Amino acid sequence: MEQFGMYLGCNIPFNAPDIEQSFRQTFPNLGVEVVDLQGATCCPAWGTAPSFDINTWLAISSRNITLAESEQVDIMTGCNSCFGILAEAKHMLDHDPGRKAQVNRLLSKADRKYSGSSEVYHVAHVLHNKIGVEKINASAKYTLRQLKVAVQPGCHLLWPSAVMKVKEKNPFFPTMLKELCHALGAETPHYSRLESCCGMGAMRSTNQERALDTLKDKLKSMKEEIDPDMIVTTCSSCYLQFDNAQKLLRDKGEIDFAIPVFYYTQLLALCQGLDPAQVAAISETPRDEIIVRIQSKQRLLN
């Protein structure tokens, strides 16, 4: 089995452990072994060290990368923010020898040294480019045929593309997540706000009303333009925003609909026939009905 170092970050284990379970249960079915990076810390997120001290940020990020280097594996993360932070840190260190030397002096206090031997990938990159849609399709026991998906790649998976090992051909018209959903049989119609921010992150932390308005605009674009059966994302922050803030908008009377939300590997797990009580158990926006539809006898593949 090919191995990848699983960098979970903070959001997934704390707020969506069923997403973590979907990683652990789907990847072995695709020939990938998930290696835990013991001792990993916060990436650290935008708004913390990266916003006020570059060397502190790079030291923390590079220390996490050295954990993968020690295991001789590349990093795989399911958090867009973690991916963006780690990928940008790696790009800066690999292209600035002076900065790399400064950071390694800091790391030496923890008996670590950054070499740059491990790459940083997002879960979506591993699924799409390393595993491939054919193997994903072959792993499915249930099909999503005739179900419509609104895809949400998330900002940090699209930009800045210059720092990414794997990138979209055109970040303004992203296709990776669409193709991953197609591998499961789903339809992915285009909607006008596909590449727009969901309002999570710093916006939600500093101006919740603006964040809710941003999400509302995106949700209405989805509902009015394509009326999807579900929203699918490969960003844990987007997932939490769509799942939790939909309820806030409904409670405020600003929307009168509910669209179930899945992280892609949760959807993949359901199509592989895995137990929803383990891989899709926690949500604010109801999704029991669509889970039953996905794993119905009518959708079983021969």
Residue-wise pLDDT for 60-71, tens only, equals: 999 999 999 999
User: Where does the pLDDT of residue 46 fall: very low under 50, low under 70, confident under 90, or very high at 90 and above?
Assistant: confident
Handedness of CA 198, 286, 186, 235 (dihedral sign): positive
Residue-wise pLDDT for 249-293, tens only, equals: 999 999 999 999 999 999 999 999 999 999 999 999 999 999 999
Q: What is the mean pLDDT of residues 8-36?
A: 97
Distance of CA 184 to the CA centre of its chain: 18
3-state DSSP helix/strand/coil percent for the chain, to nearest 5? Answer: 55, 10, 35
Residue-wise pLDDT for 87-142, tens only, equals: 999 999 999 999 999 999 999 999 999 999 999 999 999 999 999 999 999 999 99
What are the start and end residues of each CATH 1.20.1050.140 domain in the chain? 2-123
DSSP state of 77: E
Query: Cα separation of 273 and 295, whole Å?
Result: 7
**Exposure class string for 175-200: b at 16+ Cβ within 10 A, else e:** ebbbbbbbbbbbbbeebebbbebbbb
- Residue 202's pLDDT is 63
Query: Cα separation of 185 and 143, whole Å?
Result: 6
Alpha-carbon distances of 58 from 20, 94, 279, rounded to whole Å: 26, 11, 33
CB atoms within 10 A of CB 258: 15
Report if pTM > 0.85. Answer: yes
**Exposure class string for 22-33: b at 16+ Cβ within 10 A, else e:** bbbbbbebbebe
What are the start and end residues of each CATH 3.40.50.11810 domain in the chain? 132-299
Q: Which residues contact residue 35 at a Cβ distance below 8 angstroms, ignoring those fewer than 6 apart?
A: 3, 4, 5, 6, 71, 73
Residue-wise pLDDT for 187-211, tens only, equals: 999 999 998 888 887 666 677 788 8
Q: Which fold has domain 132-299?
A: Rossmann fold (3.40.50)
Residue-wise pLDDT for 207-245, tens only, equals: 778 889 999 999 999 999 999 999 999 999 999 999 999
Q: Which fold has domain 2-123?
A: Glutathione S-transferase Yfyf (Class Pi); Chain A, domain 2 (1.20.1050)
Closest CA to 76 of 61, 86, 91, 88: 86
**Bond into 44 cis (ω within 30):** yes
